[in-house]
Amino acid sequence: MDHSLSLHPATLQSQRVRRVLFAIVMGGSAHTLLCWIALQLDFFRGGDALFISLFSIIWAGHALFVTFMVLGLNRRLAEPAMILPLMVWSTTGLLVTAAVVDQARLCVMLIFFAIVQLGVLQASLRQFIFLAVYCVLGYAIVLGIVWIYWPEVVDVQGEWIQWALFSVMVLGVTLLAAEISNIRTLLGRRNAQLADVVERIHDMAVKDELTGFYRRRHAMELLGKACSQSARGAFSLAVAYADLDFFKRINDQYGHGMGDMVLQRFAEVVSRHLSGQDFAARLGGEEFMLVLPVSDEQEARHLVEGILMGMRSQRFAEAPDLTVTLSAGLAMLAPGENPAQVIRRADAALYRAKETGRDKLVLEARS
């Protein structure tokens, strides 16, 4: 089970590939070296030919795992880390070579504990139990096969004592892995809860709770970045100031609960029109700022006029006679202009819209 979900997918995949490569190179090399030493000491039945054949197959399987992950095919799996299949394959390689290695059989099987390390922070308790049972029973089957076909090379009593010792060690490691698995699961839950709390605190700090729009301070930071991007030619930038008409009258006549409902409805209308890099901010009360990266002035005007029309068409079941309108001022960022300057022009355009009848959009000409 992979608990690195907070990582970027490409980073997470790269981490998986590095982890598997390290495990294969270190564990596989130790296994190969030990069996090669057994071969030199004449403990490896079958000689050079069998040694080369077995380890060619084992390393071909390792290479297949790595290739599968490098190509990204593991991402389609329920367990993209592929920990259990890799541990089972590596354990199978141990069992096969243990059947042909005399005198050093237990040494070969002890590499199993290095294989377990691969999954100690990722595999589940159920996976560890499966792997432990597979290894212990597989080792017993190997001893039985050797006893039947090559009894002359087996010290029966000594081999089964070693098997019993190995089984106890596997049990101990499995219990330790179970404890680590429980701790890991608990930490995963705590980390998820902490991430949720941090996200909520961040949202409270930068977003208005009622509308979900950015607060003034964070919006000004984002506006500064948008102005810099626009100055580099990434897009044209429009800034709109908007004000709900006669909002105080709505609060006085229908109550603040109705006023909050109007603000939330306005936020819904705006959200339906904004996309991509657009964002909205609540500057205070019923005053809002819209920052709109656009291709040209006409696109910005159509977007804001769509919001005005959308708000004008809203109806409220709690107040059937209520119609809410919006006044807005729009300014396009001029070359060399800073955020404060374009904001002043948008605010001046909003003032003109309110002075000349409200429920309209006024475009502030560049000075």
Active site residues: 286
The CB density around residue 357, as the number of other CB atoms within 10 Å, is 9
Q: What's the CA gap between 272 and 255, in Å, rounded?
A: 26
Q: What would the 3-class secondary structure string for the chain be?
A: CCCCCCCCHHHHHHHHHHHHHHHHHHHHHHHHHHHHHHHHCCCECCHHHHHHHHHHHHHHHHHHHHHHHHCCHHHHCCCCCCHHHHHHHHHHHHHHHHCCECCCHHHHHHCHHHHHHHHCCCCCHHHHHHHHHHHHHHHHHHHHHHHHHCHHHCCHHHHHHHHHHHHHHHHHHHHHHHHHHHHHHHHHHHHHHHHHHHHHHHHHHHECCCCCCECHHHHHHHHHHHHHHHHCCCCEEEEEEEEECCHHHHHHHHCHHHHHHHHHHHHHHHHHHCCCCCEEEEEECCEEEEEEEECCHHHHHHHHHHHHHHHHCCCECCECCCCCCEEEEEEECCCCCCHHHHHHHHHHHHHHHHHCCCCCEEECCCC
> If phi over 0 gives left and psi between -120 and 50 gives alpha, with beta otherwise, what is residue 171?
alpha
